[in-house]
Every structure is written in structure tokens, then in C-alpha cells.
Amino acid sequence: MLVGEAPGYLGADRTGVPFTGDRSGRRVQTLLMALGLSEEKDPAAALPRLRGVYLTNVVRCNPPGNRNPTPAEVANCAPYLAAELAAVRPQVVAALGSFAARWAFQRLRGEELPAGIRALHGQVWPAGAVTLVTLVHPARASRGQMALATAALRTLLGN
């Protein structure tokens, strides 16, 4: 399960499909292709055929002007994410960006995020039945950080 921040204004907010239609989406779809979790050859596919992975976001709507989600917005959307977690029962949760990492730490480990997301990039955390990976958000990650994310997830998934 990959958890992002919010549907992108030009991306998922328009397409209705998390991590499609914008640069972040293409970066995530490229990552999924490299991990064997997508059947696509084109990271810009409108409706990617994914296998064994579920994509979602901390908040359901694009915050106006692409601003950060507010604590109230995160709290309002938390029940959706909790329901998804219960339904999907993922083995691995990759938190993309500080909002997702903060949510995942609180929800899965009952802790506050111990450092900024850049310091936590690529780190793996036990969290009950789940293994949590904390990653810089693809909108802000360098190429090197995307490569490290791919390597960390590949090691974890064994593919």
C-alpha cells in the first residue's frame, strides 16, 4: 500500500485515480513498473493495471492552491484511510512524504514521526503486522532518492 499526501490538482483530483495524470504519478508508476507491481509499459497510462499494490492518499481532495492539508482535513479523511487499511490489510505500507509518514507513524506505531522526512528516507520500520517504509514525496524527491526508494522497496518485497 502506497500512501500519498493528496490528489494532485492536475493529476488524481482530475483523473480520480491516485498517482496518475501528473509528474508525481509518473514517478510512482515508474517505480511500480520497476518493482513488477504494474503491467504497464507507459508510466503515463490513464488507468494503470496494477498487481498486488493499492494506492491512496491521506486526504481525499486537492487542498486549494496545492497547499498542505490542514490538521482538520487530515482528521476528516482519517476514517477513509483507516477503512482502506482494514480492507486491504497490507504487508507493506510505503508512506510518501511527511504527511503520510506522520499519519503512518501515529496509526501504525502509535508514535510521532521521530525526524524530518528527508532524514527518514528509505528507512524501514516494524509496525505490528505491517512493515512501514518512509520516503520523501515523489514531487520533492531527487533522482537519487527515487532510486533509493526503488532499491529499498525491491529489497523488502524480494523483487
Q: Which is nearer to ligand URA, 22 or 73 (by Cβ)?
A: 22
45-50 contact pairs (CB < 8 A, 24+): 45/20, 46/15, 46/17, 46/20, 46/21, 47/17, 47/20, 48/17, 48/20
Taking the C-alpha atoms of residue 59 and residue 149, their distance in angstroms, rounded to an integer, is 22
In this structure, what DSSP letter does residue 67 have? P
- In sign, the C-alpha dihedral spanning 2, 19, 41, 89 is positive
Number of residues that bind ligand URA (CB under 6 A): 13
Q: How far is the CB of 20 from ligand URA (least distance, A)?
A: 8
Q: How far is the CB of 99 from ligand URA (least distance, A)?
A: 8
Tell me if 11 contacts ligand URA by CB under 6 A. yes
Tell me if 5 contacts ligand URA by CB under 6 A. yes
Q: How far is the CB of 134 from ligand URA (least distance, A)?
A: 14
Contacts to ligand URA from residues 13-42, by CB under 6 A: 18-19, 22, 24-25
Cell numbers placing 77: 479523511
Tell me if 4 contacts ligand URA by CB under 6 A. yes
